């Protein structure tokens, strides 16, 4: 099977996971062509070709559109493409649809975000299957949705061999109002007033539109005299992020209850660290520790109570919890099982579009409900 992948970036950093996804996919198919907005020339398997549209070279939007169509025509004229996988870019599905439809090339699109735009609505109509983490991670109709998990590389995100810093709380992710990091700062303040000696590190940077929020957060930290106690260390290299996970006592995520499943809590759990969160969709992964690790959205009091109780547990109890959570992440969100599920969906989509054979909805995995 030959696959065309359309995505935003092939680069390490905050999108490092897509490089891993492509490598995992390449190990199970004949060939992969990747059209990407920008790349940093990441090493890829021999059966992968990466075609950049040139954002990293400063190409204008109009020029990138022209390059997209030139290279799409070149690939479609030169090779057999069986199926197209669109990752998080509905406009790419819309742009490619007329040309792929003529060639009987079906599209499968990954989308996991709260944002529902006209582009997503239109792309939903044009693609054959939607894949996402789970039902809560896709904001539109569920008639084409198949849940496949998050694809966490548990060979990278794994427990460390060094000591755990039992006074260290971390939060990983972009610095943005939706993450409600001010509540985490307040929780740290209250716990220190109760006599707990704690430190907190916030790993991540704000997008340009949310830089004001980081300034607000810094003012809150200063107002409570927590400079040096709560640190904002900015964006980090992926390997450094793994190190923060491995040595922290607890990872905290304050995103809203109805938020799609963030990768950071899953990465922390894959590293064997307990994660407190208010995202309801994480309950399945937390399993028997759901009541311990889920706190009420926006409830500073509930966060303080559950964080305090967690920090009072013995190292043996935390280790047992961490190993259990890692097993849950491997089973529900591991990269290898997710890749196998995704490749199966791509194969069935490709087979169903061949004129000599059609397959039933049960075979495609699309039966009007997510699985």
SS3 assignment for 167-230? CEEEEECCCCHHHCHHHHHHHHHHHHHCCCCCEEEEEECCCHHHHHHHHHHHHHHHHCCCECCE
Does residue 4 register a pLDDT over 70? yes
Helix ranges (DSSP H) in the chain: 16-26, 61-78, 90-102, 118-126, 181-193, 211-223, 238-247, 263-270, 283-286, 290-293, 300-311, 315-333, 335-352, 361-364
| Residue 324, both tokens | 């259990």
Judged against a pLDDT cut of 80, whether residue 41 lies above it is answered with no
| 133-176 residue pLDDT tens | 888 889 999 999 998 888 899 999 999 998 899 999 999 999 99
Q: Does residue 36 register a pLDDT over 60?
A: yes
Mean pLDDT for the stretch of residues 333-360: 79
Q: What is the pTM of this model?
A: 0.83
Going from the N-terminus, what domains does the chain have, and what CATH number goes with each? 2-151+334-364 (3.40.50.2000), 168-333 (3.40.50.2000)
Please tell me the least confidently modeled range out of 117-131, 138-152, 345-359.
345-359
d(CA 302, CA 257): 14
Encode pLDDT of 272-304 as tens digits.
999 999 999 899 999 999 999 999 998 999 999
Band of pLDDT at residue 368, cut at 50, 70 and 90? very low
Residues found in the chain:
371
Cβ neighbour number for residue 227 with a 10 Å cutoff: 10
| pLDDT at residue number 364 | 42
- The band of 357, judged by pLDDT with boundaries at 50, 70 and 90, is very low
When the pLDDT of each residue in the chain is averaged and rounded to a whole number, the result is 90
Name the nearest CA neighbour of 264 among 314, 340, 201. 201
pLDDT at 13: 58
Q: What is the mean pLDDT of residues 102-124?
A: 93
Beta bridge partners of 34: 5, 50
Say what the pLDDT of residue 355 is: 59
pLDDT of residue 206 exceeding 70, the answer is yes
Write the DSSP symbol of residue 48: E
| β-pair type (145-147, 129-132) | parallel
Q: Which residues contact residue 58 at a Cβ distance below 8 angstroms, ignoring those fewer than 6 apart?
A: none
Beta bridge partners of 203: 172, 234
Q: What distance in Å separates the CA atoms of residue 280 and residue 298, rounded to the nearest whole number?
A: 13
Give CA–CA dist 264/243, Å, rounded.
13
Q: Is the pLDDT of residue 216 over 80?
A: yes
Mean pLDDT computed over 202-225: 95
Give the per-residue pLDDT at 12. 64
Residue 97 has pLDDT above 80, yes or no: yes
Considering the chain, what percentage of its residues have pLDDT values greater than 90?
74
Answer for the pair 265, 253: CB distance below 8 angstroms, yes or no. Answer: yes
Q: What is the pLDDT of residues 311-335, one digit of tens each?
A: 999 999 999 999 999 999 999 999 8
pLDDT (mean) for 102-116: 92
Average pLDDT over residues 106-110: 96
């Amino acid at each position: 099977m030959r696959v065309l992948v359309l995505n935003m970036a092939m680069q390490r950093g905050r999108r490092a996971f897509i490089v891993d996804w492509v490598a995992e996919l390449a190990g199970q198919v004949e060939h992969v062509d990747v059209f990407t907005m920008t790349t940093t020339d990441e090493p890829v398997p021999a059966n992968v070709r990466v075609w950049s549209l040139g954002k990293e070279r400063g190409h204008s939007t109009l020029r990138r559109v022209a390059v997209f169509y030139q290279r799409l025509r070149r690939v479609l004229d030169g090779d057999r493409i069986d199926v197209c996988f669109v990752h998080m870019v509905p406009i790419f599905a819309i742009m490619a649809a007329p040309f792929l439809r003529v060639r009987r090339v079906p599209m499968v699109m990954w989308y996991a975000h709260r944002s529902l735009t006209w582009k997503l609505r239109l792309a939903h109509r044009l693609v054959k299957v939607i894949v996402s983490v789970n039902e809560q991670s896709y904001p539109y109709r569920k008639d084409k949705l198949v849940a496949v998990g998050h694809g966490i590389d548990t060979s990278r995100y794994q427990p460390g061999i060094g000591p755990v810093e039992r006074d260290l709380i971390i939060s990983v992710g972009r610095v943005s109002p939706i993450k409600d990091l001010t509540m985490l700062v307040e929780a740290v303040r209250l716990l220190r007033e109760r006599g707990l000696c704690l430190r907190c590190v916030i790993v991540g940077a704000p997008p340009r539109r949310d830089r004001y929020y980081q300034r607000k957060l810094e003012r809150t930290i200063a107002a409570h005299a927590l400079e040096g106690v709560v640190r904002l260390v900015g964006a980090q290299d992926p390997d450094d992020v793994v190190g923060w996970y491995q040595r922290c006592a607890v990872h905290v995520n304050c995103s809203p209850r109805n938020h799609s499943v963030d990768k950071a809590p899953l990465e922390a759990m894959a590293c064997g660290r307990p994660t407190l969160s208010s995202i309801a969709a994480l309950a399945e992964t937390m399993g028997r520790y759901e009541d311990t690790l889920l706190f009420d959205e926006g409830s500073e009091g509930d966060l303080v109570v559950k964080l305090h109780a967690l920090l009072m547990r013995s190292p043996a109890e935390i280790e047992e919890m961490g190993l259990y959570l890692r097993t849950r992440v491997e089973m529900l969100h591991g990269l290898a099982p997710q890749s196998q599920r995704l490749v199966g969906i791509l194969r069935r989509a490709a087979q169903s579009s061949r004129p000599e054979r059609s397959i039933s909805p049960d075979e495609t995995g699309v039966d009007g409900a997510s699985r």
